[in-house]
Structure 1
Amino acid sequence: MGEISENDWELQKILGQGQQVLLPAGVRLDQALAQVLPFSRSEINRFLKVSCLAPLKQQSELSSWQAEIAALTGKLEQQQLSAASVLQAQRQLALSYWSWCARKPSYKSDKDELYFFLPPLAALDNYFLQAEYLPLNIIYEDEYLLVLDKEKGIVVHPAAGNWHHTLLQGVLYYLQNKEGNNVKPYLVHRIDKDTSGLLIVAKTKEAQSRLQADLQVHAVKRIYRALAEGIFSESKFKIQGALGRDSLNPLRKAIVPDGKQAVTHITLLKQYVNCAYVEASLETGRTHQIRAHLAALQHPLVGDVLYGAKKFQVAVNLPAGQCLHARKLEFTHPITSEKMAFLSPLPAYFKTALQLAENGII
């Protein structure tokens, strides 16, 4: 069993320590769990085949548990055990501490109910970052970091429904075969599965921390190319709208009053008959930021069906997903302070889309 990724502490905590979850009155159990846990609904349904829930009469029941798990975790960390060993010890405490029950995925209650949730042991191997071979396009490498040019269709990091064959697992395989089993990758930022282009992976925790600190203060420049539907009335403009979960579809982001502030700068490069070729510069880096911001202006990215784009005709022969490419990346090296700049050429799918737009087909 390998080391769990340090890029997802929430998942590590749930796997070892469990999590309190609320089942609202009249809501299916599997639906409620999938809304608050980093697992897909199909995965939740598999989990519920074994006893992974403990009923809670009141929230105060968690206080003594939190004290117990904190004391155990502190003791284990002092022993400098591996993440896998710490997680297994946490699970053993959880299994002996709570009284577990079974519930069907379709279970509903006529009143709100609290539960303590712990994924079954048999599922654990899926959620460790395991080395897997994946062809990589590495455009820069030194002892502290890698810059990669990701293909469209590759998931960056293991997550619900995509626990294998991810870019980060491919980097782990590459590093272990090159430098030994003690080396592991640290993800600095992410791009979506169907977004192509540049991203940074650190080789050390220090490099990751410094780069992420630069991201927080907008010191990392990220520029994208996109193909968006519709006619643009301005050649250059700024989209400023706080993003949060879309109440109509939890898979989407939307501009909402209580969301996280997000700013995107748009420059029109070429207007076609039905769509526009644009450059998007991120001032912030929220999930789905470019996709959600342009969709809010009724300009969803070509191919981005999740955000309301038209579905392709079969004859178009373009891969599924949004036409979005992380084109340019500029940052200061976290260790040497050298100014770094990288440019990714437009991939074949994007060039094809531009030609189809030029001919008025899309």
Structure 2
Amino acid sequence: MSLNTHHVTQEEHNERLDKVLTALNEDASRAQVQAWVKDQFVTVNGANQKSNYKCQEGDVLSWDIPEPEPMEVLPEDIPVNVVYEDEDVIVVNKPKGMVVHPSAGHSGGTLVNALLHHCQDLSGINGVMRPGIVHRIDKDTSGLIMVAKNDKAHTSLAEQLSNKTVERKYVALVQGVIHHEYGTIDAPIGRDPKDRQKQGVVEGGKNAVTHFKVLDRFEEHTLVECVLETGRTHQIRVHMNYIEHPIIGDPKYGPRRTLDLNGQALHAKELGFEHPSTGEWLHFDSELPEELKQVLEHLSL
């Protein structure tokens, strides 16, 4: 355990206890913080309070959170669409709805669980929870993801990502009609100060650049291809929302009234990188999900 303390500031005066604590613990969700409060791991001026307690300027918050139990990641017999595989690398076309690796809220059913059943040997650089995982795509984003099968491959792929030589092209259906053919969004991304569960374009955020071009226009929507120059959390979703063309079906950043889509219309369509051992350039392209195809056909009528 590690004891943490915080004196409530003037800006935090009258804020809920769980909201203040969530802002102070970036890796914790609001629900996790509420569980800490309920389990009496948190005190205010030495006494236990409820999550909805309104903090007063000068209150002393103390929280002593037990270390999480180490999780064991088990192989699971889950179908996985392997596009390419050799002794160094696997490229998978991930379905919408699948989490990439286990976490506190998703202990099973992830791509890592499926891959451990499929091939057993994945790189260990990212630890037991994220074996082989060099980059991620969101749970509700479908498409191509590369996974390292050994540490040498992992190091090579991570360096390519850092050097911005990996080609990643996404296709997204966004709200509204974009009238120009091409665009570049260069806007820093960080945690949204108003909602700690979201990312946003914020001053002092991490450098983030997204290039896009229009593939098709409809009466009230636009189909775009997005190319990532950087790889920030929720980058395309945040950037498209920033230019007031949010992705259709996006539960965090998208429009409230939207098309009948089960989740966001974002697909990691193309992936290209240099093979870690041979140096050969590998390029992969994937079909759009059937659900998105049907929506596009309907919009074309």
Q: TM-score, normalised by structure 2?
A: 0.84
1:33 matched to 2:16: no
Q: Which residue of 2 aligns with 1:158?
A: 102
Aligned residue for 2:294, secondary structure, equals helix
Distance (Å, rounded) in 1 between the aligned partners of 2:200 and 2:55 = 31
Identity %, equivalent residues:
37
**How many angstroms apart in 1 are the aligned matches of 2:222 and 2:256?**
14
Q: Which runs of 4+ in 1 moved over 6 A?
A: none
Separation in structure 1 between the aligned mates of residue 42 and residue 152 of structure 2, nearest angstrom = 38
Secondary structure of the residue that 2:197 maps to in structure 1?
strand
8 Å CA contact 2:36, 2:65 repeated in 1: no
More helix by share: 1
Note the residue ranges of structure 2 that are not aligned, 5 or more in a row: 123-127
Aligned to 1:43: 32
Aligned amino acid, residue 170 of structure 2: Y
- C-alpha separation between the residues in 1 aligned to 2:74 and 2:2? 22
Match of 1:132 among 76, 82, 90: 76
Cα gap change, 1:33 to 1:130, in 2 (>3 Å) = farther
1:1-362 maps to which residues of 2 (within 5 A)? 18=2, 20=4, 22=6, 24=8, 26-35=14-23, 36-50=25-39, 52=41, 104-107=50-53, 109-110=55-56, 111-113=58-60, 115=62, 117-119=64-66, 124=69, 127-176=71-120, 185-312=131-258, 316=260, 318-319=261-262, 321-359=263-301
Cα drift, residue 148 of structure 1: 0.6
User: Pairwise CA RMSD of aligned residues?
Assistant: 2.8
1:246, CA displacement in angstroms?
A: 2.1
The alpha-carbon deviation at position 117 of structure 1 amounts to 3.3
Alpha carbons of 1:21 and 1:166: their partners in 2 closer, same or farther (altered >3 Å)?
farther
Larger Rg: 1
CA distance in 1 between partners of 2:113 and 2:3 (Å): 26
Offset, 1:161: 2.9
State whether residues 269 and 286 of structure 2, in contact with CA within 8 Å, keep that contact through their aligned partners in structure 1: yes
From the superposition, tell whether residues 43 and 255 of structure 1 become closer, same or farther in structure 2 (CA, over 3 Å): closer
Cα offset for 1:163?
Answer: 3.1
Higher mean C-alpha displacement, 243-252 vs 227-236: 243-252
Amino acid at match of 2:96: K
Distance 1:293 1:101, change over 3 A: same
Return the TM-score normalized by structure 1. 0.71
8 Å CA contact 1:22–1:32 kept in 2: the answer is: no
CA-to-aligned-CA distance 1:145-177 (integer Å, 9 cap, x gap) = 21110001111123353333221222223333x
- Quote the offset at 1:54 in angstroms: 8.6
Are the counterparts in 2 of residues 228 and 276 from structure 1 also a CA contact under 8 Å? Answer: yes
